[in-house]
Structure 1
Amino acid sequence: MDYIQPRPSSIVAALYTARDLGVDVAILHGPSGCSFKHARLLEEDGMHVLTTSLADNEFIFGGHDLLVRVLREAEEMFAPRRMAVVGTCVAMIIGEDLQSAILDAGIATPAIAVDIHAGFRENIEGVLATLEPAAAVGWISAGELERQRSLLLKANEVERLRGAASRAYIEPSRGDLKHIAAERLLELAGSGATGAAVMNAKKETAYIFADELIALHDACPEAAVTYMANLEDRGLPKVREDAARILAGMRGRGLEPELVGALDEYGANGQAIGERIREIDPDFALLVGVPHAIPPEYTEGIEVFSITNGPRQVEPLREMGHRHVMVEIDLHPKTLGVREIVESEFGAVLRSMR
């Protein structure tokens, strides 16, 4: 697929994966402005992101010595448990040897070199470029590496079939008005109709998407709704910690969801969730997180309310037959650094109507 709309960066994907592996300090070996916005957001999530600030002189003569110096300074300044040196387009074009710099720095902190740049059409290349050296030094097992590889391929397949990567350009949209959809959802839940409320969320975004299930339960505690969430205990260290916190938060609010898949299995969960929906045979379904992972044959004849965090996902969801499609805007910045469930826009609207 040749895209003419912006797509996620493989460098940024590498940074997020380093965070999920428990890296305390990531060093971007490139210009100071590379991935600036995401670097700043990740700092709010507890990972220090530094840069070697390569400039025109280093573009010509190389930045090896500069990277060695920053590695030593990072170790002295932050006393990290783990570090990662993440490549950029500049570093890869001029042929910088990241692993050599780590060795020459003589640091005691365990560190990996992530040879990556932004010239990939699929950002999963950044994830794999981080996981492979992590497996090589024993941060994850060979089995977990293969599991992650399989999950990434499934997630990519879903995006190409029914997601924002399903065509070269998709017009972004804010979706339907939340108060109108909320009114209809409450009408159904309060009428005795049977429902399914499913969270199939990607990693930390679940801190907000979980609230939408809680809000429905708060508003209609006696409704005939089956709740499901992808909060099983599998995945990289941070992913498992997040799942445990979110599940505890849901239980603390009186909601005990059925567990279907883990937070990193959002792309592979579709069929299992679909089969469970088919067993329930509901009149309506609330699908939040990555709703397009569920094949449309499982929701035919059901009044579907879907909530995504991608404005370019609205049109594909409508084409799948979802009657009410909404977007949680700026969800990633709201969930970075949090350790408990955050109120969602749709959840707030549901509560305001009760």
Structure 2
Amino acid sequence: MKYVQPRPSSIVAALYTARDLEVDVAVLHGPSGCSFKHARLLEEDGMRVLTTSLAENEFVFGGQSRLEDVLLYAEEKFSPKRMAVMGTCVSMIIGEDLQAAIDNSGVLTETIAVDIHAGFTENIDGVVATLKPAADIGWITHDELSRQQVLLKAANQVERLRGAAVKEYIEPSRGDLKHLVAKRLVELIREGKKGVAVMNAKKETAYMFADSLLALHEIAPNANISYSANLELRGLPKVKRDAERIIRDLDSGGLSYVKQGALDEYGATGDLLGKWIQEDNPDFALLTGVPHAIEQKYTDGIECFSITNGPRQVAPLKDLGHAHVVVEIDLHPKTLGVRSIVESEFGAILRSMA
């Protein structure tokens, strides 16, 4: 399908994957404005992002010597344990040899070359392009590489079938009014209805998506609600560390829940979570993170409250029969660089109704 709406960039996906691999410095080999917003955001998460700032003359004559200089500068300035060189559209078009630049620079830091550009149809190509050299250098095992490739395909399939990639264009929406949705949820609880609350979140977004579960437990600690969170400890180094921190916060909040899936398995847990919901036979379900991973056949007849961070995910969730859909705007920037659960807008509104 040819999309006419903006889609995630494979270069940005490569940058986030480098961060998950605990890369200290990533060097974008291209113009200074390439992936500017995400580069700045990732610096909030502890990874230095530098650029070779290629200009017009280097578009023609090449910028390998410039890349070598920046690598040496990064090693001297930051004393990193790991570095990654990220390709861009410019470096691909002029045929730059990223690995040769690393070898010729003389840097002693373990450094991988990620040959990537933004012209791929799927952003997961950027993830795979980063994981393959990481496996070759020994940062992850080849078994983990294979696991990641399976998970990426599952996540892509969910987006194509029920997510923001289901149509060539989806009208963005802020969703339903949060205070009205919260009011309805509280009404069901006070009526003694049975519910489930499920977090199926992608990586660091769980720092905010988990808050809705905490808020629900705080206002109704004795309600007939079963909780689930995808916090099994598997995945890349940062992903596991994030899960450990969120587990700590949920446990300290007194929340009792089952762990189903890991933070990088959000696209592959649909059947597991769907069957669990069916077995519990609830009247309502609060679904946070990636609600559309769960097929409609598992939620038919259940009043669904879905929380997403994607304005283009509202319409697909409504099409799945979810009665209430709210959007946590700017969730991703708010969860970069954090080390504990962040209060969500929906969580704050729920607490106000205690």
Q: Above 0.5 in TM-score? A: yes
Correspondence list, 1:185-196, <5 A: 185-196=185-196
The SS at the match of 1:27 is strand
**1:218 is aligned with what amino acid?**
E
Report the Cα offset of residue 30 of structure 1. Answer: 0.1
1:49 aligns with 2:49: yes
Which string of whole-angstrom CA distances, capped at 9 and with x for unpartnered residues, describes residues 74-111 of structure 1? Answer: 00000001000000000000000000000001111000
Question: Which residue is equivalent to 1:91?
Answer: 91
Root mean square deviation of aligned Cα: 0.4
The SS at the match of 1:216 is helix
1:296 aligns with 2:296: yes
The SS at the match of 1:199 is strand
Which string of whole-angstrom CA distances, capped at 9 and with x for unpartnered residues, describes residues 286-339 of structure 1? Answer: 000000000000000000000100000000000000000010000110000000
Which string of whole-angstrom CA distances, capped at 9 and with x for unpartnered residues, describes residues 249-305 of structure 1? Answer: 000000021000000000001000000001100000000000000000000000000
The SS at the match of 1:350 is helix
The SS at the match of 2:84 is strand
CA distance in 2, matches of 1:193, 1:353: 18
Write out the 4+ residue segments of structure 1 that deviate beyond 2 Å after TM superposition. Answer: none
CA distance in 2, matches of 1:258, 1:297: 22
Question: Which residue is equivalent to 2:327?
Answer: 327
**2:44 is aligned with what amino acid?**
E
Report the Cα offset of residue 353 of structure 1. Answer: 1.0
Question: Which residue is equivalent to 2:78?
Answer: 78
**1:12 is aligned with what amino acid?**
V
1:264 aligns with 2:243: no
Report the Cα offset of residue 191 of structure 1. Answer: 1.8
CA distance in 1, matches of 2:142, 2:61: 38
Question: Which residue is equivalent to 1:176?
Answer: 176
The SS at the match of 2:334 is helix
CA distance in 2, matches of 1:111, 1:311: 37
CA distance in 1, matches of 2:61, 2:69: 16
The SS at the match of 1:267 is coil
The SS at the match of 1:288 is strand
Correspondence list, 1:73-222, <5 A: 73-222=73-222
1:19 aligns with 2:19: yes
Report which stretch shifted further, 67-76 or 183-192: 183-192
Which string of whole-angstrom CA distances, capped at 9 and with x for unpartnered residues, describes residues 182-230 of structure 1? Answer: 0010111122111000000000000000000000000101100000000
1:9 aligns with 2:34: no
Question: Which residue is equivalent to 1:343?
Answer: 343
- TM-score of the aligned structures, taking structure 2 as reference length: 1.00
Report which stretch shifted further, 235-244 or 181-190: 181-190
Identity across the alignment (%): 70
Report the Cα offset of residue 134 of structure 1. Answer: 0.3
Unaligned runs of 5+ in 2: none
- How many residues are paired up? 354
1:38 aligns with 2:38: yes
Report the Cα offset of residue 248 of structure 1. Answer: 0.8
The SS at the match of 2:342 is coil
CA distance in 1, matches of 2:256, 2:177: 29
The SS at the match of 1:337 is coil
**1:55 is aligned with what amino acid?**
A
